[in-house]
Structure 1
Amino acid sequence: MNPEALSAALLAVIAPLAEARRPGAADGLTAADLVLDRPKNREHGDWASNAALKLAKGIGANPREFAAEIAEGLSAVEGIADVEVAGPGFINIRLDAAAAGALAKTIVDAGAAFGTNASRADEVINLEFVSANPTGPIHLGGTRWAAVGDSLARILASQGASVTREYYFNDHGAQIDRFARSLVAAHEGLPTPEDGYGGGYIVDIARRVALAYEGDIDALDADAKQEAFRELGVGFMFEEIKKSLHEFGVDFDVYFHENDLHESGAVERAVKRLDELGHIFEDDGAVWLRSTTFGDDRDRVVIRSNGTPAYISGDLAYYLDKRERGFNRCIIMLGADHHGYVQRLMAMCAAFGDEPGVNLQILIGQMVNLVKDGQPMRMSKRAGTVVTLEDLVEVVGKDAARYALVRSSTDSNLDVDLDVLQKRTNDNPVFYVQYAHARTHNVARNAANSGVDRSEFAPELLSHETESALLGALQEFPRIVAYAAEVREPHRIARYLEELAGLYHRWYDNCRVIPLGDNPVEPVHRTRLWLNDATGQVLRNGLDLLGVGAPERM
């Protein structure tokens, strides 16, 4: 019995009881209003409900007495083995083995679709992440966002949302000028400018620019030479960034160039829209956004008195552009150093007439540190000053890197222990989960060789305590995915997979799929194969949502 069926049964019992006490009390009451939770202690049953506590006051009932009436009604429902009342009125529900075990076949039949739904079909999401400046390789902070952002896109899409992955390509401003000066200096054999970029990649890009330029680049005057290195150098650097991300399993649907905002008139359109809404004013020759109206700590200059656009002008134009492209959810993932931007961006959203936290959501990610031999790694051979995406993948591989970066909440700093990620032991969380998946395939292969197939399914035979625990965890997968989408936290899926892997390993140690010795194949063996394959399917589905491989052999 799945949660939806159980909620429907609960509603069918509660509605007439509530009506009998107070006519009209059940009007508008739906199954969705009756929350079901998994008890932390499995001895308390398969499901728990606080419905009696929630509804008792409204119908003038004693919560525990009302719970007892509900329990009596539920006890007669097919598939429910036992119902008991606990505490002030909690209802603990235990399913019979057949009702619980039926889930194994449901999962196998659903395959890759298990855990998906269309609940977010009305959400058209623009998910902007990474967006590292094309002035160097992607550092660890950007690498974390690559893993988390791509996983979040997969999770949201699994719940029916239309998701566009977008990379904001910053090819406008002072950082690009410093990058160009650094390339020129490297080409000319001069020291890196004081505010410039160092590392072997600068020398590599400078060499590529000189070879690619049509003509004698050294014959150009200083300004033209810097512009040539800027234009070609940014292109080469961005090619490398895209290549690194692709090899990391992350591809974007849109690469949006910041420079286009300033050349297309988008800034002027955004200012005009805000002016029409009454939120623009002029003072001291500058154009201002009255952002304090919407909770900002001060009003913001949009166009300076000298006519040049201030930094926020690009934010205004970019947000309006996204909304005009049809996105009703704009999610932006930023590093910890951008925390101060959140207030002004939310004020901007409200100024356009939108709802902060709904039409615009900002996710802030904390720093990542690599630890090797108990000591932090701080330098990259290639980048010179930071550890990069390539450095991490080279040491531990793509799967371990992605999993390690996504399994912790982005709200906290993350220490990635390279020694642990290189181990092929249960101490390594990605190995632990992938090994569980590989083991399900090994069990299936051995079962086939021993004549055990899925020609029979008797769910009432899945009665061992480890089977009950495993089925309970499998049942949770759709809820975990839906909640991860709601709160934008992919790490919840990783932690779930680790728990599921542990329950599977314990089941494997206690319940045989293949008969011992020359004993005949029995219905319990065939039924357990369904449970084995269902677990493999859920592990595979979860790993896919994280962009991590699910090997069949290890």
Structure 2
Amino acid sequence: MTPAELAEVVLSAAHAVFADRGLDRSALPERATVERPRNPEHGDYASTLALQLAKKVGQPPRELAAALAEQLGRAPGIKSVEIAGPGFLNIRLDAAAAGVLARSIVQAGPAYGRSDRLAGERINLEFVSANPTGPVHIGGVRWAAVGDALSRLLRATGADVGTEYYFNDAGSQIDRFARSLLAAAKGEPAPEDGYGGAYIAEIAAEVLTRRPDTLGLADAAAQEVFRVEGVELMFAEIKSSLRDFGVEFDTYFNEKSLHDRSELDAALARLREQGHIYDTEGAVWLRTTDFGDDKDRVLRKSNGEWTYFAADCAYYLDKRERGFERVVIMLGADHHGYIGRMKAMAACFGDDPARNLEILIGQLVNLVRDGVPVRMSKRAGTVVTLEDLVDAIGVDAARYALARYSSDSPIDIDVELWTRASRDNPVYYVQYVAARTASVGRNAAEVGFDRGDAEAFRPELLDHEKENELLKALAEFPAVVAAAAELREPHRVARYLEDDLSGAYHRFYDNCRILPRGDEEVTDLHRARLWLNDATRTVIANGLHLLGVTAPERM
């Protein structure tokens, strides 16, 4: 029995009690919840439903809890129900009800942990969005890992998700990039405000291979060639490196298209209709202070140029008009100032900023070697890049390391730790369980036995304390996935895999022999434990997949 199934049993018992007592059943929630008590001696699960409902229906909490306990005690699979404190229900399952979960998980396979909690939500998730002026740096890599994991979690809970990468190919940074390429092609130093690093010389050389006549053009024309060709080459490299990291986007959206399709004019017209535009000193302003911003924002300068904020407005409107009811934007550590203006902008369009727009801010990441932060890349010159991180610790370790911490916390990634084949390396610890569960399955086949027919599975045999502990951990996975998606916190999955599931499996493995010794006869208990072993393999694999990390069969 899963926690969700038990919660349904608890709610059904509440309906029966309310009917018997003539209480108002409209006070009952659509769904109930159960939780694992911190102290295992208090039972397998706990419910606070009696406490939640007592005041609403004018019943003493313990009296209502007693009626619920009596009703629950009649339900199949419930071993006992005790009342604690002012009206807590502590519930124990019988071994068969608990153990049948192992079979359910194996049969569900990759679907175990998925739900429809966010069904019907259309979410646009934008992350990374580095400008194509250089390789993806380590801060952007954090969002690549976290954003991709979040997209997997949202889809696993039923949301319709569109992932998006927005790149600026129309602004001053691109002009500096083009001037830097032109300078490199001429063998000149980079402009004072330009970009350096070996990659600039590499791209400049590739542009000249494509367009060998470029240096014969006037500087303005040559710079335009380097802008167009250089952005294309740089962005192709960015997409390739992200793909190698396991991250691909549904949509790559370029800022220039907003200008080409007159989207900025359309956004301005919509904001005028809403009554939040005013003109002064030849410039066009958006009155964002009406919605809590610290100052109003310029959309169009007095010289006729659009501001970056105008593009932000047009891009947000474009997403909403594509049918996304919730826009989630993941930004770097230096973007806290964007939150107020972006929320105000959404309100200016007539949206509910709390509902339609979410902005997540990620904190800084350092790569540390021998206790000292690595400051620069051999190729990029000034920053540590995605390739540097992968070269140092590998894709799996990099993705896991970046996703296992709350994104609002700065982190140091220690090269020595994350490449160590030991239990103190978190990704090794979890992947070792994946490999060990696979190894047990192979070893069982070698000695000539398997789980047997599902109908012959005897879940009641899984009554050892460590089997029960592992079953409880396995049962929590769907709730962990749902919470991680709803709270936008992929690190919850990583911590569950480490702190709950992996530890519980190791204790089970050490205390409950799965394979028969020598000529020992294969029993139903061996087969039941193999079901439990394989259920663990399923959940470890499912959890790692949500983080974009492999579940190896051998290590």
Same fold (TM over 0.5): yes
| 8 Å contact kept, 1:18–1:59 | no
2:278 alignment partner, one of 277, 281, 293: 281
In the alignment, is residue 519 of structure 1 matched against residue 517 of structure 2?
Answer: no
Which residue of 358, 379, 387 maps to 2:384? 387
Counterpart in the other structure of 2:164: 166
| Distance apart, 1:515 and its partner CA | 1.3
What amino acid does structure 2 have at the position aligned with 1:410?
Answer: S
Tell me what 2:77 maps to: 79
Aligned: 1:359 with 2:344: no
After TM superposition, give the deviation of residue 318 of structure 1 in Å. 0.4
Partners of 2:4 and 2:33 within 8 A in 1 = no
Counterpart Cα distance in 2 of 1:101 and 1:519: 24
Can you list the C-alpha shifts for 1:436-490, whole angstroms capped at 9, x where unaligned?
0010010011111222211131000111111111100111111110111101111
Shift of 1:232: 1.0
Distance in 1, matches of 2:54 and 2:157, equals: 34
Matching of residue 399 in structure 1 with residue 396 in structure 2: yes
Q: Does 1:443 align with 2:444?
A: no
The separation in 2 between residues aligned to 1:66 and 1:117, in whole angstroms, is: 31
In structure 1, the residue matched to 2:462 is 462
Q: Percent identity?
A: 60
Q: Deviations over 1:361-394 (max 9, x none)?
A: 1111000011111111111100111111000101
2:474 is aligned to 474
Partner of 1:29: 28
Shift of residue 158, structure 1, vs aligned partner: 1.0
Task: State the alpha-carbon separation in 1 of the partners of residues 4 and 477 from structure 2.
Answer: 14
Aligned-partner Cα distance in 1 for 2:106–2:248: 30
State the AA in 2 paired with 1:276: E
**Structure 1 residue identity aligned to 2:553:** E
Cα distance in structure 1, aligned partners of 2:116 and 2:82: 34
Q: What do residues 306-348 of structure 1 show as CA deviations (whole Å, max 9, x unaligned)?
A: 2111221101110111111111111111001111001111111
Q: Secondary structure at the match of 1:127?
A: strand
Distance apart, 1:301 and its partner CA? 1.2
How far did 1:73 drift? 2.2
The runs of at least 4 consecutive aligned structure 1 residues that moved more than 4 Å come to none
Secondary structure class of the residue paired with 1:155 = helix
- Helix, strand or coil for the counterpart of 1:379? coil
Query: Per the alignment, in what secondary structure is the counterpart of residue 353 of structure 2?
Result: coil
Partner AA of 1:248 in structure 2: F
CA contact (8 A) 2:27 2:56 kept: no
- Which stretch of structure 1 is more off in the superposition, 311-320 or 56-65? 56-65
Answer whether contact 1:100 1:468 (CA < 8 A) is retained: yes
State whether residues 282 and 301 of structure 2, in contact with CA within 8 Å, keep that contact through their aligned partners in structure 1. yes
Structure 1, residues 191-225: CA drift from partner, whole Å, max 9, x if none? 22211111111111111111111x52221111111
Question: Is 1:424–2:421 an aligned residue pair?
Answer: yes
| Counterpart-to-counterpart distance in 2, 1:131 and 1:178 | 18
Once the two structures are superposed, the pairs formed by residues 306-385 of structure 1 within 5 Å of their partners are 306-385=303-382
Cα distance between partner residues in 2 of 1:89 and 1:473: 25
Q: How far did residue 31 of structure 1 move?
A: 5.0
Matched, 1:178 2:176: yes
Can you give the 5+ residue segments of structure 1 that lack an aligned partner in the other structure?
none
**Equivalent residue for 1:40?**
38
RMSD, matched Cα = 1.3
Structure-2 separation of matches of 1:381 and 1:191? 18
What amino acid sits opposite 1:467 in the alignment? E
In 2, the alpha carbon distance for the partners of 1:35 and 1:437 equals: 30
- Cα distance in 2 between the residues matched to 1:398 and 1:6: 39
Question: Residues 406-417 of structure 1: matches in 2 within 5 Å?
Answer: 406-417=403-414
Correspondence for 1:492 = 492
SS in 2 for 1:37: coil
2:18–2:25 Cα contact (<8 Å) kept: yes
Q: How does 1:289-308 map to 2 (within 5 A)?
A: 289-308=286-305
Q: Distance in 1 between matches of 2:279 and 2:55?
A: 57
Match of residue 268 from structure 1: 265
Contact 2:45-2:90 at 8 Å conserved across structures: yes
Aligned partner of 1:101 in structure 2 is: 99
Alignment length (residue pairs): 551
Structure 1 residue 521 displacement after superposition: 0.6
Distance in structure 2 (CA, Å) of the matches to 1:397 and 1:76: 54
CA shift for structure 1 position 6: 2.0
Tell whether the 8 Å contact from 1:451 to 1:521 is kept in structure 2 after alignment. no
Question: What is the aligned partner in structure 1 of residue 541 from structure 2?
Answer: 540
Letter in 2 for 1:515: P
Q: TM-score, normalised by structure 1?
A: 0.97
In the alignment, the residues of structure 1 paired with residue 209 and residue 56 of structure 2 have an alpha-carbon distance, to the nearest angstrom, of 79
Q: Which sits farther off after the overlay, 9-18 or 104-113? A: 9-18
Displacement of 1:398 in angstroms is 0.6
Partner of 1:156: 154
Q: Secondary structure at the match of 2:25?
A: coil
Identify which of 88, 91, 96 aligns with 1:90.
Answer: 88
1:510 corresponding residue in structure 2:
511
Task: Verify: 1:258 aligned to 2:259, yes or no.
Answer: no
Q: CA deviation at 1:52?
A: 1.5
Unaligned runs of 5+ in 2: none
Which residue type is aligned with residue 205 of structure 2?
A: R
Q: How far is 1:16 from its partner?
A: 4.2
CA distance in 2: counterparts of 1:464 and 1:42, whole angstroms? 14
Q: Which residue of 1 aligns with 2:119?
A: 121
TM-score, normalisation: structure 2 = 0.97
Rounded Cα–Cα distance in structure 2 between residues aligned with 1:8 and 1:234: 55
